[in-house]
Amino acid sequence: MSIPYGYLVGLAFLAFPALPVPRLRERPGTLVFLLAMTVNELPFLAIALFTASTGLALAEGDLASPVAIAAAVVGAACIALTTVRSTRTERALQAALGSIAVTKRVSYASILLRPFGFRPGSVERTANVPYGPAGKRNLMDVYRHRSHPTGSPVLIHFHGGYYAMGRKNTQSRPMLHRLASQGWLCISANYRLRPDAVFEDHIVDAKRVVAWVREHAAEWGADPDRIVLTGSSAGAHMSTVAAFTQDRPEYQPGFEDADTSVSAVVGLGGFYGPYFGRGADTDPFALARPDAPPVLVVHGDHDSLVHVSVARAFGKRLREVSDRNVYAELPGAHHGFDLFHSPRFEAVVNAVEAFTAHAWSAGAPVGPEEPFEQPRVAGPGVE
């Protein structure tokens, strides 16, 4: 009786995201990250692949061995666990937001039809708009509704990539498209990268984008009083530091008098520690201040690149300095949960809308009453 090794390898691929994530001292391989992230964030795809592969194995008689049968049962259980964790996202976000009511619900039908977050027809993208002097690294894409509304809230997104790679228009696209379709002005910006750039260059670029929005608000129909900074991974680090240093002219060379303040910050799967051997002046944990704009930190408890303990500690620190800050932990989410139009990320976008609306209304304190118990740990660097 032969063992269907090909089938077993496929099952391992589909079941892997359900496994616990160890605290890693080194960055895992790209393949490990991509396997976990893709299957984990698209559980319906995992179900379809499992059903097809199991049906094929059954038709070919490969499920006759006890090993194959046991593997199929375990694989089905792991995929079911991954799916259930994904459906818990709405409840976890609402618990974190406390008194802020998230009124929108995940639309599973739209996710099944558009899991990869293609841009809807109602949204236009103006590509490669320059905002600074650094060539292609100072270009951004602007998304807005084709009706060109006025008084639009603004979302500025910075991509991740260890501050050394990545580009605009690759991450958080479902959020950019969704908010733009609802009348927001959304921006996805490049910025200067290592090794040619240093920490100060990243923050200067972030502030240049904010200054550009304020300067061109009338032209693009933007509301300069409602600007949200957000970012994925390294972009979350960049966004929080930029928001926490709004009164630091050294980060605004040549535009020192420009107003680069923002009204809210959203960090998605970010690292919140010192920048590559630098000190506290590069650390969002140390820079957090009570007069900063409200911050929503969203992190997956299965993140294999930035351990969840780093985000928990930052969330605790934020709550210590201001009760308007919120830390939300997503059950089963890995790094890169913002790449697909998934049930999990749609729930996150719903929460972002509710959080920012509350921030602009100058509402009451939010968030859970219980403190976070997880101690702060050092991380490997910024993702």
335 is catalytic: yes
Q: How many Å apart are CA 357 and CA 273, to the nearest integer?
A: 28
Burial of 121 (0-12, 13-18, 19+ CB in 10 A): exposed
Count CB atoms within 10 A of the CB of residue 106. Answer: 20
Mean pLDDT computed over 316-339: 95
Lowest mean pLDDT among 41-55, 120-134, 285-299: 41-55
pLDDT on residue 261:
98
Whether 36 has a pLDDT exceeding 80, the answer reads: no
pLDDT on residue 155:
99
pLDDT on residue 227:
99
What confidence tier does 32 reach under pLDDT thresholds 50, 70, 90? Answer: low
What confidence tier does 378 reach under pLDDT thresholds 50, 70, 90? Answer: very low
pLDDT on residue 376:
40
Give percent of the chain with pLDDT exceeding 70: 88
Q: Which of 299, 302, 335, 358 is catalytic?
A: 335
Sign of CA dihedral 189, 192, 195, 200: negative
Whether 374 has a pLDDT exceeding 50, the answer reads: no
62 is catalytic: no
pLDDT on residue 365:
61
What confidence tier does 115 reach under pLDDT thresholds 50, 70, 90? Answer: confident
CATH number of 90-360: 3.40.50.1820
247 is catalytic: no
The residue ranges of every structural domain in the chain are 5-87, 90-360
Lowest mean pLDDT among 117-126, 196-205, 312-321: 117-126
Lowest mean pLDDT among 8-17, 73-82, 181-190, 244-253: 8-17
pLDDT on residue 366:
62
pLDDT on residue 380:
37
pLDDT on residue 181:
97
Q: How many Å apart are CA 383 and CA 271, to the nearest integer?
A: 6
Q: Where do the DSSP E strands lie in the chain?
A: 123-130, 139-145, 152-158, 185-189, 222-232, 264-268, 295-300, 326-330
Q: Which of 303, 309, 341, 342 is catalytic?
A: 303
Mean pLDDT computed over 72-84: 84
Whether 125 has a pLDDT exceeding 50, the answer reads: yes
pLDDT on residue 373:
42
